[in-house]
Amino acid sequence: MTLKEKQQEIIDDFSLYEEWLDKYEYLIELGKSLEGLPEGKKTEDRLIKGCQSRVWLDCEKRGGVLVFAADSDAIITKGIISLLVSVYSGRTPEEILADDFSFLDALGLKENLSPTRANGLVSMIATIRSKAAENE
């Protein structure tokens, strides 16, 4: 599945839920099922600034692609990062840098999450992009 196809799949899944609380239920389920990071990897250098909750993002380069793993102490945030991980993990830096991350707008996540949270999302995206740029 290409990056665009994966994004469309998420947009389709999300559109099944009309009520915000149902969307949150869905994100909570995603958050609970995300494997997360072992305690030893929740380090200061993996911590993303700009979130009210704490978010850790781990990035490894394996055979030309970037593999992301992430965790958060807040479950809705963890649900959102699980979406990001499912879209961007296993892609080449070039694929990631070519994307405009607009699928998050299509999900309505940016506008409807609280401002601090939106900042957190922006920080997460910025971190993913900078990891891609470092490894280009």
Partner 1 sequence: MCDYRNEFPQLAREVYGRPLVYLDNAATSLRPRSVIACWDEISSVRTANLHRAVHRVATEATEAYEAARDAVKTFINAPEREEVIFTSGATHSINLAAWSFGEAFISEGDEILVDEAGHHSNIVPWQMLCERKGATLKVLPVGDDGAMRLDLLPELLSPRTKLIAVAHVSNVIGLVNPVRKIADAARAVGAKLLVDGAQGVVHQHVDVQALGCDFYAFSGHKMYGAPGTGVLWGRRELLEQMPPMFGGGEMIQTVRWAGTTYAPLPRKFEAGTQNISGTPCFVPAIECLRSMKQDEGIKERVYRELMSMTDVRLFGTTEDLSTKVPVFSIAVEGAHHEDLALILDKMGVAVRSGQMCAEPLMDRFGVTGMLRASFAPYNTMQEAEYFLTSLRKAISMLK
- Which residues form the interface with partner 1 (CB under 8 A)? 20-21, 24-25, 28, 52-54, 73-77, 113-114, 116-117
CA distance 12 to 6: 10
Give yes or no: 59 in active site.
no
CA distance 2 to 123: 24
Q: Give min distance, CB of 68 to partner 1, in A.
A: 22
C-beta closer to partner 1: residue 2 or 114: 114
Q: Give min distance, CB of 97 to partner 1, in A.
A: 30
CB atoms within 10 A of CB 126: 14
Distance of CA 100 to the CA centre of its chain: 14
C-beta closer to partner 1: residue 97 or 118: 118
Among the listed residues 27, 30, 48, 51, the single catalytic one is 51
Q: Give min distance, CB of 67 to partner 1, in A.
A: 26
CB burial of residue 50 (10 Å; 0-12, 13-18, 19+) = middle
- Catalytic residue numbers, as ranges: 51
